[in-house]
Structure 1
Amino acid sequence: MKKYLKKAVSLLLAMALSMGLSANVFAAETVSPYEAILNEVNAEYGLDLGYVPVDESKVTLEQYEEKTREFAAEQRELLDYIASRETCAEPVGISRASVIKTRTKATWNLGQYFTITATYTVYDGSRISSCRNAKLNMTNTAIFTNTYLTNISGPTYSVIDGGRTSTVKYTATVHFDSIIGYSNTSLYTEFYYSES
């Protein structure tokens, strides 16, 4: 009799544990109202911005939606611009007349917060090599407003515009004042052969 009682108690405990675990799995599948807004905006703009948890005590749903829509519109505009500029570059012929330049330029859409420094070579005064040794920098505005990046990808380089322009693009998670953030954000700039 004692043997059957132990089995029955064990069976009841196993059932209770399995029900508790399955309830946790169902709870993990729920989406916060903030993430639902981001998902809706991503679908509307054709983006894949990732959700970064929001401090709900500091940002209302309306504020989050306004900031998210503004940010998504800027990202969509940037990605459309990059796609329109991607053309086959003519091959750069190496000649004796070349100048190596290192320049710093603001990133597009987030230029008040971040800049990119890169080195490139200009051949014959009108052709540019692919950038190299790129570095992503924070501006004083980023420091004062507590705007920062995490999960920064390595730079991707390309030459466009018939060999007259070299581009640098990073992907990162951007955080605004530690309150709102978006992953899979593009940071991009172009370097021109004619820059002095």
Structure 2
Amino acid sequence: MSVKAVATTFGTYCLADFLSNFIQHPTQKMDYGMFNSLIGRKVDQPFWGTRTQHIIGVAGCLAITDHASQAWFSKRLGKPLCFALSPAHFVAHTFLFIGAGVAAYVLADAAFNPQHANQRAAVAASGLYSTYIGTNTAWFEPYVSPALATVAGPAVAGSWFGSALLPATLAYTTVKGVGWYDWGDSGLNDLEMEINGLLPEKKIVQ
């Protein structure tokens, strides 16, 4: 498990998470924390509770569990893990690394996010349940590239886009969308509710 390979996967997963937001929330404005000022949006929290925290945190956890799981399965098989040659093992690897990676992020968020100071156990339990639900939707990820090959050809399917970015983006979309019901106007934080005009108007009491 080389540092370069993990770093490359981390970058891919960061981009996949970012792109998945456009699928889940096509018309909504997202809260990217400290980066909001670069796109003319209000900054509430610079990091915690923002899409930036999620992008960096989940990608980091998944990159590590992905390569660790690949190494473990490859050692057991006595050859590099490959979907074409070992489909059942690869599907098992997919469920394992996604579930473990997202769970690791959920537990870290519950433990260190100051916004959860008074409810860490409840946040962890809720997040782990959502992880279980969301991970079960990612069964299709290994099949994205083969399916793409039948439509766009093996060159596109075997490229970084077809074999890594597209499958990851779609998996992020279903895991977050189904596990956390993060679609459209649902799953937004307080600032996102505000900048999308979804907060109820405050009534002035005279």
TM-score (norm 2): 0.28
Flag the structure with larger Rg. Answer: 1
Whichever structure has more strand as a proportion of its residues is 1
TM-score by length of 1: 0.29
Normalized per residue, which structure has more helix? Answer: 2
Structure with more relative contact order (C-alpha pairs < 8 Å, separation 6 or more): 2
